[in-house]
Each structure stands twice: as C-alpha cells, then as structure tokens.
Amino acid sequence: MKICLMGLGSVGQGVARVFQMKRDEIKQEYGLDLDLVAALDRSGAAINPEGLDLKLLLETKKLTGKVSKYPEYGEEGVSGLEVLDRVEYDCLIEVTPTNIEDGEPALSHILKAMGDGKDVVTSNKGPLALKFSELARTARDNGVKFKYEASVGGAMPIINFAHETLSGCKIESIYGILNGTTNYILSRMAKEGSSYEQTLNEAQEMGIAETDPTQDVEGEDAACKVVILANSILKMDVTYADVEVKGISQITPESISLAKKEGYLIKLIGEVSPDSLEVSPRLVKEGSPFAVEGTLNVATLKTDLADEVTVVGKGAGSIETASAILSDVISIWKTK
Amino acid sequence: MKICLMGLGSVGQGVARVFQMKRDEIKQEYGLDLDLVAALDRSGAAINPEGLDLKLLLETKKLTGKVSKYPEYGEEGVSGLEVLDRVEYDCLIEVTPTNIEDGEPALSHILKAMGDGKDVVTSNKGPLALKFSELARTARDNGVKFKYEASVGGAMPIINFAHETLSGCKIESIYGILNGTTNYILSRMAKEGSSYEQTLNEAQEMGIAETDPTQDVEGEDAACKVVILANSILKMDVTYADVEVKGISQITPESISLAKKEGYLIKLIGEVSPDSLEVSPRLVKEGSPFAVEGTLNVATLKTDLADEVTVVGKGAGSIETASAILSDVISIWKTK
C-alpha cells in the first residue's frame, strides 16, 4: 500500500514513527506492506516512488524542521495538490493543521484524492466539521474509503467503535468529554483550587495547551467533534454553525469548590442527540465514568439494544493519535 | 443469509426478538436479509427452509416452553446435529447453555457447522474455554468465519473492539470486571452492609443470580472469559485449567467496610497477561473506572501505542447479549 502523508507536525511525525515501529509486525500479521512514497510539510515535500526512509525522514524533520531538506528526494515549495498529481499512491493520510474557517488546505487535498479514486484517512477536524456531507458523498461517488477515527478523541475509539463493533445497535445519543486540554485544566483547578488563568499558564508551559488556546478552551475543538459524531454516527446533516458552544474560560475556583461540596465536578461536555448539539460546562457526579482526570476523553453511547456503552481513552498524543490512523489504514486494507 | 439458531433460552429468545425488531432496518442499511430457517431447544426443533415466523416462534416458546410445538414445522426429539444435516443455512448461531465440563452439545454443533463450511457466531463460553485453538484452527482450515463477541461481557464490546477498532495496537494485558452477578452482589454488600448469603438470596430472587450460583460466585464464569481473552486477544494458547481462580463467597461485610474506610472497593477482577491468568477479589479505588456498580462489566486494555483504553457496558441481559450476536452476524456479512 503506497501512502502519501500530508502534514508532518506532531501527528504526522507520530504516523512516521508508528510506521517505523510496526512495519514488520503489520506485514506479518496482515500481509500489508506500508510504503510511504511522499511526505509534505509547509516547506515542500519529499517524494520517492520506491518509498522514503522513515528514519531519515524523521531525522531530517527534527534537525532542519523541513521535509524539503530530505536528501536527494526533497523538493522546496511544491504544493500538496502538485504532489498528489505527481506521485502514484493508494491512500492519502491527511494530517495538516486543523482550520475551522474554510478547512483548507486539507479539504482540497482530500477532495482531489477522492476524485482520483484514492482512499483517505484523516485526523483533520476542519473539513469534517464544515463539509461532512460533501466528503461522504464524494467518497461514495468515487467508490473510495474515507476513515477519520483520529479526528475525534485521539486514541479513544468512537467512530469505528459505533460503526463496526456496535453495528447491531442504533446509536441514539452521545455524551462525552471530547477535549483533553480543558479536562486537564478543570481537573487541576478542582484538585489545586487554582484559578483558570494560572492553570491555563501551567498547561501551556507543559505543552498541553497551545500558545493560542482558543480552539480548546472556548469549546471550538469539542464542537467540531460534536459535528463529526452527529453526521457520522447519528446520520444527521449538520455543520459547525449548528452547535451551541460555551467554553470554560468563565469557570471560577469558587464554582468548582461549590460543586465539589455537593459531590459534583465541572466538566466540558459535548452532547450529540437529534434534539441537541451542544458543548458546555456541566456538572457530573464524582465516582461516575465522567469523573476522569487529566487529558483523558470519555464518551457514553446510548444505544437501542445494548443500553449505554462507555469508552475511555487518551484524547491526544502524537503516537496515540497515530495509532488510530494506523487502525484506519489496516481496516481499509482488510476490506480490499 | 439463512440462519440456524441452536438454543432458545434467554439469549436465543433475545436473538429472535432482535431479529424481529431490526430485520427491516438491517435489510435497508446493509442489504442483509436475515432468515431464521431453524431453531432448536431441548424439546426438538422447528425447521422451515422458507424462514420461520419470528412472532409465532416466540409465542410458541412462551406458551408451551417447547419449540417443537411450532405449528406445522415443529418436530419433537430431533437433535442439533440432525438439524444441521437437514437444513440449508449460511450461519450457525450457537447459544445453548454453557457447559464447562466438556463444552457439549455446543462444541459438536460448532465443529460440524465449520466442517460443513458454515460461518459460526456464538455466545457459548464452554467450547471457547476448553477448545479454543481447535476451534480457531478448524475455522481457518475450512475458510469460515468464527465470531464470539457475546461470550465475554454481553453488551460490553471487547473482542471485536480489540481485533478491529484497535487493530493498529498490540494488546499487552487486560484487566476487568467480567462477571455482572458478582459485581451486583459486591456492590450491594458495599452499599447495604449486608452479608454475602443475604445478598446472594436477594440476587437470586431478582433473577440476577441463578438457583445454582456456583459458576458466577466461584469465579468460573469470569475464568472462562479470561481464557477466551487470553487466546483470542493476547494470542496465548491456554485453557481453563491454566487460570488461578478464587470467587467471592468468602468476602465478609467487615472486609468490605474496612476497604471502604481507606477509599477502596472489593471487586472480582479478571487479569489477563502473559505472566498471569487470574480471577480473584481485589481492591479497586473508589472513583476509578472500576468502581462501576450493578451488573456492569468493565475492561481496561493496555496497548503498546494508545496507552490504556477502557470499555464499560452491560455484562448480561437477553436483548443486550443478542445485540452483540447481531453485530457479529453483520460483521460476517460485511466481509463476504
């Protein structure tokens, strides 16, 4: 399977590392040969139809920050669409940075790959939150596979879980902690009694929150995930604008300690149901599955036959997210 | 898809009910026509190559307790193996009562079906705990699918979850509450301060524990599940005799309240790792995912790439278990 990797940030490098770690194992277990034939970042691309050397790729990126410096096969300034035109490949892994304004450049990459009859795996929430139905239709029309487990919950499985593992059930609603950064901040505030600003600063120093934390703390990231779950699992037809969103920046240590006295915690909850698409801080009971700490994500799926099923897992992390991408790639391979 | 259903107890009736409820939906969503061509219980069988009427089947069973009384197509005293020889079918659903002495009659049913080139779905722990490697080999040699999600955890997904949803990861160990009856008893004892005997009686009256509760309370049921998980997910080659088993009948209200004072609960835990196959009462922290109450099951899978992933779901129930069987049937259909 020839793979084209667009994006070589934290997730993209995780994908390269995971490929490196698991190549032999996957070849042995599934008969699947993973060949990375192209990798792209802001600087340009490295393209080798015979397959790139993963160790060299990761070292080049680490030392120079630029994939275009890859010895012999690196090219400066080449665009994603150009790469997709020039290289022969089977599957696009699209992990460029999320853009929830217009979904670009990921949206164009994905639509072009599908139009060319290629399968697509992505962790990129932008295109999914803005153009889900167009993407699903384009995949169907071109007879290609489109998988995006890593876009929601990192290493907490939910999309394939609902579609495959729970295929005998209808999912009626989903309720979950879908953002690890805010869960980390709220858990620390509850534990330390510290203020929102102070805890955010700490999270930024630890690399858990980004320099511009807006997408996380204002609930935008969780809202994107609500849209993806609503479209893909509840088969609704909604977009980002349909979600009511409230973040955590107004939460005070006082409100947290008040809740605590009554046996509750405050968590940023995403709710997905035919009647409600919402992200907002809510009370959850101490001792419930929703009382998870740190950057963990959790989701409860209400089903018609199996009652409630809950999954808990790491919401982020380079290798963790890459593992979800790898599971998607294997799943495509298994249904070939 | 022509289906042969062996066993018409709680799970078997659940399967018939779920087929009845979801037939049209599944036909529409997956293009899968579910036709029950034979059903068997202790009394005999009902066989109709054109498909049995599910409503009539469930009514007959409810009114007479005997599938052999099914109008026109019922037959007294016919054996399972005879049915499998006489009827044309694609998939056997084997849900006769679990027998952990010799796995019969399920073992013979399953091996015959596989030998005849038929796919098999089962919830029956007996054959899996005793003869896993023989069953896996026979399925492979005959090129048939063999699925058994419902054998562990009822509606808590774990086997397909590990094989499919987490296919990019290697599962290194599993740690879980794998028996709902004992979890119900221990949760009630912790809440009410009641004795083991008293709580067991109450559970029996509610139909949560069986008249002979040995399989549950002595840990045998959980041990069967440990064997199934070890073989199927950790790819070990073990059998029931390899599990160290200790049940809950020696647990006193005093030990529970002592644990509680320190912030712990006592739960019957199954551990599956290359170094240890064990079922025993252990302390778990209040507020951890393992502090679940009632008949819930929970399992944490330690993976190489995604760290720990946890699932929580109903461990038993007629419809719930049948939903896992239906998911297996759909999964077989999807890979045809």
**Domains parsed from chain B with CATH numbers:** 2-155+318-334 (3.40.50.720), 165-314 (3.30.360.10)
The complex's ipTM works out to 0.90
Closest by alpha carbon to B109, among B99, B125, B123, B120?
B120
- Contact in structure between B290 and B263 (CB atoms under 8 Å): no
- Identify the pLDDT of residue B316: 79
Distance CA B109, CA B91 (A): 12
Among A22, A170, A335, beta carbon nearest to B335: A335
Distance CA A39, CA A41 (A): 7
Going A64 to A67 to A70 to A72, the CA torsion angle's sign is negative
Nearest C-alpha in A relative to B325: A168
- Contact in structure between A310 and B311 (CB atoms under 8 Å): yes
- Contact in structure between B187 and B297 (CB atoms under 8 Å): no
Q: Do A305 and B312 lie within an 8 Å CB cutoff?
A: no
Q: How far A315 CA lies from chain B's nearest CA (Å)?
A: 10
- Under DSSP, the state recorded for A67 is G
- Identify the pLDDT of residue B287: 73
> How would you classify the pairing of strands A91-94 and A74-76?
unpaired
Interface mutation vs chain B, best among A27, A163, A167, most B CBs within 10 Å: A167
Q: What is the pLDDT of residues A266-307, one digit of tens each?
A: 999 999 999 999 999 999 988 788 888 888 999 999 999 999
Question: B224-256 burial string, b = 16+ CB within 10 Å, else e?
Answer: bbbbbbbbbbbebebebeebebebbbebebeeb
Distance CA A259, CA A190 (A): 10
Q: Do B331 and A305 lie within an 8 Å CB cutoff?
A: no
Closest by alpha carbon to B115, among B82, B137, B87?
B137
Phi-psi region of A152 (alpha: psi -120 to 50; beta: other; left: phi over 0): beta
Active site residue B225: yes
SS (H, E, C) A83-128: HHHHCCCCEEEECCCCCCCCCCCHHHHHHHHHHCCCEEEECCHHHH
- Identify the pLDDT of residue A208: 87
- Identify the pLDDT of residue A262: 93
Phi-psi region of A235 (alpha: psi -120 to 50; beta: other; left: phi over 0): left
Q: How far A15 CA lies from chain B's nearest CA (Å)?
A: 11
Distance CA A3, CA A92 (A): 6
Q: Do A168 and B330 lie within an 8 Å CB cutoff?
A: yes
Q: Do B313 and A322 lie within an 8 Å CB cutoff?
A: no
B-chain CB neighbours of A286 within 8 Å are 287
Closest by alpha carbon to B26, among A229, A169, A308?
A169
- Identify the pLDDT of residue B317: 84
Q: Do A330 and B22 lie within an 8 Å CB cutoff?
A: no
- Identify the pLDDT of residue B215: 92
Q: Do B165 and A327 lie within an 8 Å CB cutoff?
A: yes
How is residue B80 written in tokens? 């399972």
B-chain CB neighbours of A314 within 8 Å are 306-308
Distance CA B33, CA B25 (A): 10
- Identify the pLDDT of residue B336: 80
Quick one: B24 exposed, middle or buried, by C-beta within 10 A (0-12, 13-18, 19+)?
Answer: exposed
Q: Which amino acid is at A331?
A: S
SS (H, E, C) chain B: CEEEEECCCHHHHHHHHHHHHHHHHHHHHHCCCCEEEEEEECCEEEECCCCCCHHHHHHHHHHHCCHHHCCCCEEECCCHHHHHHHCCCCEEEECCCCCCCCCCCHHHHHHHHHHCCCEEEECCHHHHHHHHHHHHHHHHHHCCCEECHHHCCCCCCCHHHHHHHCCCCCEEEEEEECCHHHHHHHHHHHHHCCCHHHHHHHHHHCCCCCCCCHHHHCCHHHHHHHHHHHHHCCCCCCCHHHCEECCCCCCCHHHHHHHHHCCEEEEEEEEEECCEEEEEEEEEECCCHHHCCCCEEEEEEEECCCCEEEEEEECCCHHHHHHHHHHHHHHHHHCC
Q: Do B155 and A320 lie within an 8 Å CB cutoff?
A: no
Distance CA A175, CA A155 (A): 17
Closest by alpha carbon to A132, among A178, A100, A170?
A100
Find the helix or strand (DSSP H, E) in which A138 lies: helix A125-141
A-chain CB neighbours of B324 within 8 Å are 168, 306
Nearest C-alpha in B relative to A335: B335
A-chain CB neighbours of B121 within 8 Å are none
Number of continuous H segments (helices) and E segments (strands) in chain A = 12, 13
**pLDDT under 70: residue ranges of chain A:** none
Q: Do A325 and B168 lie within an 8 Å CB cutoff?
A: yes
Q: Which amino acid is at A198?
A: Q
Q: Do B157 and A309 lie within an 8 Å CB cutoff?
A: yes
**pLDDT under 70: residue ranges of chain B:** none
- Identify the pLDDT of residue A160: 92
- Which residue out of B125, B131, B145, B225 is catalytically annotated? B225
- Contact in structure between B281 and B267 (CB atoms under 8 Å): yes
Closest by alpha carbon to B255, among B185, B180, B189?
B189
- Which residue out of A61, A125, A145, A225 is catalytically annotated? A225
Which residues face A267 on adjacent strands?
A: A282
Distance CA A182, CA A177 (A): 9
Closest by alpha carbon to B279, among B196, B209, B190, B216?
B216
A-chain CB neighbours of B312 within 8 Å are 289, 309-312
Interface mutation vs chain A, best among B323, B332, B335, most A CBs within 10 Å: B323
Q: How far B78 CA lies from chain A's nearest CA (Å)?
A: 31
Other Cβ atoms closer than 10 A to B285: 12
Closest by alpha carbon to B321, among B302, B295, B300, B299?
B295
Whole-angstrom distance between the N-terminal and C-terminal Cα of chain B?
Answer: 11
Q: Do A167 and B292 lie within an 8 Å CB cutoff?
A: no
How is residue A242 written in tokens? 């349909």
Q: Do B155 and A317 lie within an 8 Å CB cutoff?
A: no
B-chain CB neighbours of A320 within 8 Å are 305-307
Q: Do B313 and A331 lie within an 8 Å CB cutoff?
A: no
Interface mutation vs chain A, best among B27, B93, B165, most A CBs within 10 Å: B165
* A/B interface, count of CB pairs below 8 Å: 147
Nearest C-alpha in A relative to B167: A327
Among A168, A291, A311, beta carbon nearest to B327: A168
Q: What are phi and psi of B264, to 5 degrees?
A: -120, 160
B105 prior amide bond cis, ω within 30 = yes
Interface mutation vs chain B, best among A234, A309, A333, most B CBs within 10 Å: A309
Nearest C-alpha in B relative to A164: B331
> What residues contact B42, with CB distance under 8 A and at least 6 apart?
none
Q: How far B263 CA lies from chain A's nearest CA (Å)?
A: 11
> What residues contact A5, with CB distance under 8 A and at least 6 apart?
A12, A15, A16, A36, A38, A39, A40, A93, A95
CA–CA–CA angle B304, B305, B311 (5° rounding):
85
